[in-house]
Amino acid sequence: MSILPVIIAAIAIPCFLYILWRVRWGHPPAAFPKVLAYHKVTGFEFGGTWTTPRRFETMMDALTDDGFHFIDEETFLKTVEGERRGSEREILVTFDDGYAGLLESAIPALDARGIPALIFLVTAYVGGENRWELYWPGRRFKHLGWDEIKDLASRGFRFGSHSATHRDLTSLAPEEVITELAGSKLAIEERLGRPVHSLSYPFGRTDPSVMKAAGETGYRAAFSLYPPFSNAPVRRFALRREGIYIIDGIGNLKAKLAPGGMFWVEDLKGRAINAVALLTPAIKKAEKGFRGDS
């Protein structure tokens, strides 16, 4: 059997994917901060949106050793709003969902290194379990409680909204979207006594109407993961982030942050993982329909 077809496919498929990526998404802007998106920092669990505490620490140290500078939410927002010039050597660290496990894993590592972070909360589940996720064995995790959130806020950590109930906002009626965004923002502001500036879309999902609602409900910026637009423009209400998953090591992290090289592979990989994550709201919706829930 000839191996020529295999060789041709091995060359043609990556070339096709690169051309598709270059035409459809392309490189992000130069001289603009990078944003990392973490979820769980924990031991093994049946999912992909986690990394181990040891690997998280190693990543923070590797970035510092490579000359990256960690910035806080306000510095990042001023860059988005054009009040300062940013740099691709700046990094904003974010966490979606606000899991309580961060207190024993990520927070000590960040404190020890003086690294600021922005944590997005699902307000209906504060202090409770992540019932919005698919139920697999070992996948019940507790979210931070309000007392813990207040303590972290007093120590310099910043909090944003991840909506009220972690539903796919693009599937909701306009009035439901406003309720999700405005309600969660108000809940955090009332508890912490300070304005909430940033929003993270559940599952990274957004569209023009949801982006408009984010602006109308008073957010200064909103984060996606891998928006369905070209990477080149900075969109204030569809900011891209580099998702960090259990399959990502130091090499993957560096590729996500490099202006060339294998960045395109990491971008496509992240988009594929994010697409799979959409199974969660689809299955949860089907489960509700099966049970006859309203």
Digit-coded pLDDT (tens) for 210-233? 999 999 999 999 999 999 999 999
Q: Which two tokens stand for residue 186?
A: 């108000």
d(CA 92, CA 78): 13
pLDDT tens digits, one per residue of 173-201: 999 999 999 999 999 999 999 999 999 99
pLDDT at 138: 61
CA dihedral of 199, 203, 204, 210, whole degrees rounded to 10:
-70
Q: In the prediction, which pLDDT does 170 show?
A: 96
CB 212 within 8 A of CB 170: no
What local confidence, expressed as pLDDT, does residue 290 receive? 45
Residue 47, pLDDT score: 83
Kindly report the CATH number that applies to the domain delimited by 4-291.
Answer: 3.20.20.370
Q: Average pLDDT of each block of 10 consecutive residues along the chain (294 residues)? A: 70 89 94 97 89 98 98 98 96 98 97 98 96 76 97 98 97 97 98 98 96 98 95 96 97 93 95 85 60 47
Question: In angstroms, how far apart are the furthest CA atoms of the chain?
Answer: 71
Distance separating alpha carbons of residues 222 and 237, to the nearest angstrom? 4
| Residue the block writes with tokens 């080149």 | 232
Phi-psi region of 68 (alpha: psi -120 to 50; beta: other; left: phi over 0): beta
Q: pTM for the complete prediction?
A: 0.93
H runs (alpha helix) in 158-236:
174-192, 208-216
Looking at residue 286, its pLDDT comes to 58
